[in-house]
């Protein structure tokens, strides 16, 4: 995070090495070799959890989960016995970054994919990770895996997700971490202008691009699902709650109730992360008791718009018990 100016700027310099089918970067697709390190609290990591579920890559890419809180040094494996990741044998994700780049000076971020052979991070480029899961890992997709990045719609998806990233995914952070009234109001206006545009788009179609779930939906959902629990109050994104935006609220519920989306969400961990870690925004560290989550399970009515969630594919099987977050309701 950069605070040199009143307007928040995300450090977008990532370890951009790719895992590819042909191994051109030195890391070929290989079942069982890599471990996805994520955190349920983090929206950027949430994308990888969703795509891994939808494509059925659980056997191909193992999962390590960090706890929801961390200090300035690193995400930690405090959910595991002894606070040690059982595969990588480390307490802090920082150790895997240092294996790749000694003294790594940028943010220790999730998601990160780690090579279990040497314990070093391969990549933390969250935007590319999910695209590569869709396009490079096809030989290991489950039978019936949906096409989340269809070739004939990629230009449309790319343009849309750029807008979503700038104004919504990162826009809520630009609101929350602004240190001047002017920069905050600019981010606030862009956030809600974009949400209104997305609402207009989704009023006449069930999903963002075409009639099936795509990468675009995967990228919008993690921000929407955190909106009322965190961004509305904690980040001052308070024009309206998600529950007060009828189209987006119905769309978010539709996805939440779709296998692969809601079964990656842990609202308790989400709230713990934002309210306990961001002490510059919430100095007391007190975590709100609300909001009421029962609405996420109510009927959404989006079926009336048609659409086929998984296209010519099928829904993923039930989430594995060891990877299931707490149920709501």
Dihedral class, residue 3 (left if φ above 0, else alpha if ψ from -120 to 50, else beta): alpha
Helix axes 215-225, 126-135, angle to 10 degrees: 140
14 counts as catalytic: no
User: How many separate helices (H) and strands (E) can be counted in the chain?
Assistant: 10, 4
Helix axes 43-55, 126-135, angle to 10 degrees: 10
DSSP 3-state assignment of 122?
strand
End-to-end CA distance of the chain: 35
Q: Of the candidates 202, 215, 203, which has an alpha carbon nearest to the alpha carbon of residue 156?
A: 215
List binding-site positions.
75
List binding-site positions for glutathione.
75
| C-alpha angle 138-143-149 in degrees, rounded to nearest 5 | 45
34 counts as catalytic: no
DSSP-H helix ranges across 241-307: 246-256, 267-277
Q: What phi and psi, each to the nearest 5 degrees, are found at residue 175?
A: -70, -50
Sheet architecture: strand order including 112-115? 61-65, 34-38, 112-115, 120-123
Catalytic residue among 34, 42, 149, 175: 42
Return the CA Rg of the chain. 19
Residues in the chain: 329
Catalytic residue among 8, 34, 149, 173: 173
Q: Could you count the other beta carbons within 10 Å of the beta carbon of residue 99?
A: 17
Q: Could you count the other beta carbons within 10 Å of the beta carbon of residue 32?
A: 11
Q: Are 191 and 232 in contact (CB under 8 A)?
A: no
- Catalytic residue set: 42, 173
């Amino acid at each position: 995070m950069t605070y040199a100016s009143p307007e928040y700027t995300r450090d977008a310099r990532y370890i951009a090495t790719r895992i590819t089918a042909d191994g051109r970067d030195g890391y070929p697709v290989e079942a069982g070799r890599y471990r996805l390190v994520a955190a349920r609290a983090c929206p950027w990591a949430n994308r990888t959890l969703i795509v891994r579920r939808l494509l059925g890559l659980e056997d191909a890419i193992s999962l390590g989960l960090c706890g929801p809180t961390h200090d300035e040094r690193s995400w930690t494996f405090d959910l595991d016995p002894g606070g040690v990741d059982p595969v990588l044998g480390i307490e802090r994700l920082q150790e895997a970054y240092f294996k790749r780049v000694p003294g790594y000076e940028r943010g220790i971020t999730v998601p990160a994919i780690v090579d279990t052979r040497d314990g070093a991070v391969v990549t933390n480029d969250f935007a590319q990770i999910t695209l590569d899961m869709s396009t490079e890992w096809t030989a290991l997709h489950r039978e019936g895996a949906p096409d989340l990045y269809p070739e004939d719609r990629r230009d449309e998806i790319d343009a849309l997700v750029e807008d979503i990233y700038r104004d919504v995914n990162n826009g809520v952070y630009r609101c929350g971490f602004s240190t001047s009234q002017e920069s905050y109001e600019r981010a606030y206006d862009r956030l809600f202008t974009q949400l209104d545009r997305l609402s207009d788009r989704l009023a006449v179609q069930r999903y963002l691009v075409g009639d099936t779930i795509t990468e675009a939906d995967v990228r919008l959902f993690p921000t929407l699902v955190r909106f009322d629990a965190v961004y509305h109050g904690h980040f001052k994104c308070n024009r309206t709650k998600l529950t007060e935006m009828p189209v987006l609220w119905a769309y978010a519920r539709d996805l939440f109730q779709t296998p692969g989306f809601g079964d990656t969400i842990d609202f308790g961990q989400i709230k713990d992360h934002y309210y306990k870690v961001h002490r510059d925004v919430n100095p007391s560290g007190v975590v709100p008791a609300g909001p009421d989550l029962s609405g996420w399970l109510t009927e959404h009515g989006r079926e009336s718009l048609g659409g086929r969630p998984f296209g010519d594919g099928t829904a993923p099987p039930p989430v594995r018990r060891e990877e299931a977050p707490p149920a709501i309701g």
